Amino acid sequence: MTNRILPFITLVFLSTLFSIVIGDDGVAISEQYPLVVSTWPFKEAVRAAWRAVDGNHSAVDAVVEGCSACEELRCDGTVGPGGSPDENGETTIDALIMNGVTMEVGAVAAMRFVKDGIRAAKLVMQHTKHTLLVGEKASAFAIAMGLPGPDNLSSADSIRKWSTWKENHCQPNFWKDVVPSDSCGPYHAKARIDVKEGGCSTRYLMGVAEPRSSLVGPHNHDTISMAVIDKRGHVAVGTSTNGATYKIPGRVGDGPIAGSSAYAVTDSGACVATGDGDIMMRFLPCYQVVESMRLGMEPRLAAKDAISRIARKFPDFLGAVVAINKNGVHAGACHGWTFEYSVRSPATDDVEVFTVLP
Ligand code: ASP
C-alpha cells in the first residue's frame, strides 16, 4: 500500500513547488503547456486548436481542429477546397497527421472530391495499418469511413486562376527540358544534341531552365503546418494544403510526407514547415530539425541548420521551418521570403504572430 501511495504524495508535493497539476488519469500536467504553433498568420486555426487543447483535448485532436478550421476558411486560398488548381484546373488535397508519442502517422495525397484533408489523414492513422493513401482511392476510403463527398473541390477563384493561366499559354509551369516550352502541352522531351569534346561525344540538353522563384511564390501555394503540445506534454503535428498551383496532375508535395512538412517526437519536440515542397521533401527538413534538437541543439540553430542544408544546394528555393522543443521554446528560419508563424501559449491572451527574416 505504502509503495503505491508514496509516489502519489511525492507528486502532489512536487506539484506545489513546480506548478504541476495532476490530471484525472493521474498524469502530471505542466502549466507551461499547452502550446499551439502554426505556419503563417492563420490565427483562427490556432484559436480553434487552442480551444480544443485548453479544454483538455489531446494534441492530436487539437491539430485536427486547427487544420480543419483552416480548410473551412480556405486559408490563403491554398488550403481546403477551392484553392491551387493543377494543370487540369482541378483542386486536390494533401494532408498529414502525426502522433509524437506513438509515432503513428496518417496521410492522404492528391486526394480528390473530399474537402476534409486532415480528418481523412486521421482516419488513415486511426483505422488502418497504412501511413499514406493517394488519389481517388484515398477519396473512396475517406467517403467509406463517413466523410462527406464526393464534392467538387473547384471554386470560382480556382477556375478564374486556371483560365487566366491557360490564356497566358500555361506559363509558368513545372515542366523542364520539354517542347513546347512556351505554351500548353502535350509536352515532349527536348531533343538532345551531341557535341564532340576532345574526340568524346557529350550529350547536352537544349534550353535554359526557368528559375523556380517564378513558380513558387508567396501567393501560389501555402500549407498550414501545425504543432500542438497538450497539457500532458504530448506532441502532435498536422498539415493540410492544395500543394503547388499549376502542378502537373499527380504531383504530391511535401505536405503528406512525415519528416518533411512536419515531424513530432514527444521526447524531443516538433517542427512545422512550408515552402517549395518539391525541393524541401528531398531534405526532410523537419526530421532534421527534431533530430538536431534530440542531439541537444537549440531550436534556433536547428531551424537555421535545416534551412541552410537546402539553400546550399538550391540557392533560389523558398521555404521556412519552425522548431519547437519539448519545453515549448520555438524559433523559425526561412530562405527567400519573409515568413510569419503564429503561437498561442498560456503566456499570452491571444495568438501572437512572429516574423522571421531570411
Ligand atoms: N509545401 C507545399 C507544397 O509544395 C506548399 C507550401 O507549403 O507552400 O506542396
pLDDT at 222 (0 to 100): 81
Chain segment 161-213, per-residue pLDDT in tens: 999 999 999 999 999 999 999 999 999 998 765 555 555 544 444 444 455 65
User: What spacing in Å lies between the alpha carbon of 254 and ligand 1's midpoint?
Assistant: 6
Closest Cα to atom 9, ligand 1: which residue?
243
User: What spacing in Å lies between the alpha carbon of 210 and ligand 1's midpoint?
Assistant: 19
Binding-site annotation, residues = 251-254, 274-277
Atom of ligand 1 nearest to the CA of 223: 7
Ligand 1 site, residue 256, Cβ cutoff 6 A? no
User: What spacing in Å lies between the alpha carbon of 277 and ligand 1's midpoint?
Assistant: 5
Closest Cα to atom 6, ligand 1: which residue?
222
Taking the CB of residue 135, how many other CB atoms lie within 10 A of it? 16
Annotation says 128 is catalytic: no
Ligand 1 site, residue 274, Cβ cutoff 6 A? yes
Amino acid at 301: L
Residue 55: partners with Cβ closer than 8 Å, 6 or more residues away:
none
pLDDT at 219 (0 to 100): 57
Angle at 116 between CA 36 and CA 40, to 5 degrees: 35
Q: What domains sit in the chain, N to C, each tagged with a CATH number? A: 30-155+215-356 (3.60.20.30)
Query: How far is 239 from 110, CA to CA, in rounded Å?
Result: 14
Amino acid at 177: D
pLDDT at 221 (0 to 100): 63
pLDDT at 259 (0 to 100): 98
Helix H or strand E segment including 331? strand 330-335
State the 10-residue block means of pLDDT for the chain, 358 residues long.
48 40 43 90 98 98 98 91 94 97 98 98 98 98 98 95 97 95 92 57 44 60 92 97 96 98 97 97 98 98 98 97 95 96 95 96
Closest Cα to atom 1, ligand 1: which residue?
277
Q: What are phi and psi of 170, to 5 degrees?
A: 60, 40
Query: How far is 105 from 256, CA to CA, in rounded Å?
Result: 10
Binding-site annotation, residues for substrate = 251-254, 274-277
Q: Which of 223, 239, 241, 245 is catalytic?
A: 223
Ligand 1 site, residue 243, Cβ cutoff 6 A? yes
pLDDT at 199 (0 to 100): 53
pTM of structure: 0.87
pLDDT at 217 (0 to 100): 61
User: What spacing in Å lies between the alpha carbon of 251 and ligand 1's midpoint?
Assistant: 11
User: What spacing in Å lies between the alpha carbon of 252 and ligand 1's midpoint?
Assistant: 9
pLDDT at 333 (0 to 100): 98
For a substitution probing ligand 1, which of 261, 278, 284, 317 has the most ligand atoms within 8 Å of its CB? 261
Ligand 1 site, residue 254, Cβ cutoff 6 A? yes
Atom of ligand 1 nearest to the CA of 216: 8
pLDDT at 190 (0 to 100): 86
For a substitution probing ligand 1, which of 108, 241, 284 has the most ligand atoms within 8 Å of its CB? 241
Query: How far is 263 from 257, CA to CA, in rounded Å?
Result: 9
Alpha helices in the chain (DSSP H): 2-18, 43-54, 59-73, 117-127, 135-144, 156-167, 277-280, 285-294, 299-313
Residue 195: partners with Cβ closer than 8 Å, 6 or more residues away:
201, 202, 204
